[in-house]
């Protein structure tokens, strides 16, 4: 992936925020509202909430947004025009309603980490985080760890070990760190912990390969 001028541990200080934290802008506020709707739809009383009206109003909002959408190609160029920090990805993107969003910071020891509390939309087993969601968070976190270390690539393998159920509604620490680079092969590890206990750990193999940004 071409990440542009992504901050690295060599050039930036301990605690540098590596993702685009939600801001008080119309797009971030609208996306936060959409995230709230996703959760409310799952929590609401199916028998008594006026879901016919909800569907009508949400379709009206979607139509308004679609009427103002440029060509996808044009929008893709715009999406990738930043300086290495994406606002649209499904893990950290403040402009993506399916992102929790996770905010990651780079540490002086080369690791990256962030805290997030996941709720009902991310549920797998009752009260627990879906295993695919954990893998998603960790894949992205390892990618950010690679960028922070100064050498990144595409995920070739992700070996995920689920040690214990990952709880919903409790603060989770997500971290990653690049372990070694061997030619084009990049080895990176990470984990999700809750209350100091490892719930999920991963070992990733990344291959140094650039996917050009749309222009
Ligand atoms: C900051 C933002 C962070 C975002 C993080 C998000 C991370 C992602 O989601 S990336 C998307 C998911 N991943 C993909 O879609 C990747 C799809 N696969 C590919 O593009 C390619 O197959 C890719 C990149 C893995 C390999 O690229 P390619 O240039 O074809 O590699 P190739 O020349 O065949 O192999 C290079 C070396 O890697 C090894 N290798 C390649 N793939 C693998 C693999 N899957 N497993 C093990 N080894 C592999 C080869 O054996 C070879 O080793 P050697 O040099 O010793 O012979």
| Domain-embedded: residue 180 | yes
| Domain-embedded: residue 175 | yes
CATH of the domain at 199: 3.10.129.10
* Contact residues for 185 (Cβ-Cβ < 8 A; gap 6+): 205, 206, 207, 208
| Residues paired with residue 173 on neighbouring β-strands, in sequence order | 115, 193
How far apart are alpha carbons 173 and 113 in whole angstroms? 7
Cβ of 147 below 6 Å from ligand 1:
yes
Which ligand 1 atom is nearest residue 147's CA? 1
Q: E-assigned strands of the chain?
A: 16-17, 105-106, 111-117, 154-162, 171-182, 185-194, 197-207
Q: What is the pLDDT of residue 3?
A: 63
Q: What is the pLDDT of residue 6?
A: 85
| Domain-embedded: residue 43 | no
Residues of the chain with pLDDT under 50: none
Q: What is the pLDDT of residue 75?
A: 93
Joined together, the tokens standing for residue 209 give 């390969």
Cβ of 143 below 6 Å from ligand 1:
yes
pLDDT digits (tens, 9 = 90+) for 127-151: 999 999 999 999 999 999 999 999 9
pTM of the model: 0.95
Domain count, the chain: 1
Pair 166, 134: CB distance under 8 Å: yes
Q: Are strands 111-117 and 185-194 parallel, antiparallel or unpaired?
A: unpaired
Which range of residues forms the domain containing residue 83? Answer: 16-25+73-207
DSSP letter string over 20-54?
----SSHHHHHHHHHHHHHHHHHHS-TTTS-HHHH
Alpha carbon distance, N-terminus to C-terminus of the chain: 14
């Amino acid at each position: 992936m071409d990440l542009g001028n992504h901050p690295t541990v060599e050039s930036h200080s301990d605690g540098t925020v590596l993702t685009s934290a939600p801001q008080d802008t119309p797009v971030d506020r609208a996306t936060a509202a959409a995230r709230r709707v996703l959760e409310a739809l799952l929590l609401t009383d199916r028998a008594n909430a006026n879901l016919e009206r909800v569907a009508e109003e949400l379709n009206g909002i979607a139509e308004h947004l679609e009427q103002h959408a440029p060509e996808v190609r044009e929008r893709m160029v715009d999406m990738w025009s930043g300086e290495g920090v994406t606002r649209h990805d499904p893990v950290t993107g403040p402009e993506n309603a399916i992102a929790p969003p996770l905010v990651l910071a780079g540490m002086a020891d080369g690791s990256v980490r962030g805290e997030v509390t996941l709720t009902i939309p991310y549920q797998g087993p009752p009260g627990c985080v879906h295993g695919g969601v954990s893998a998603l968070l960790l894949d992205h976190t390892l990618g950010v760890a690679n960028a922070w270390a100064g050498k990144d690539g595409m995920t070739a393998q992700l070996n995920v070990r689920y040690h214990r159920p990952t709880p919903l509604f409790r603060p989770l620490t997500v971290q990653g760190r690049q372990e070694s680079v061997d030619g084009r092969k990049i080895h990176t590890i990470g984990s999700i912990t809750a209350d100091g206990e490892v719930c999920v750990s991963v070992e990733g193999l990344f291959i140094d390969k650039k996917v050009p940004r749309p222009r």
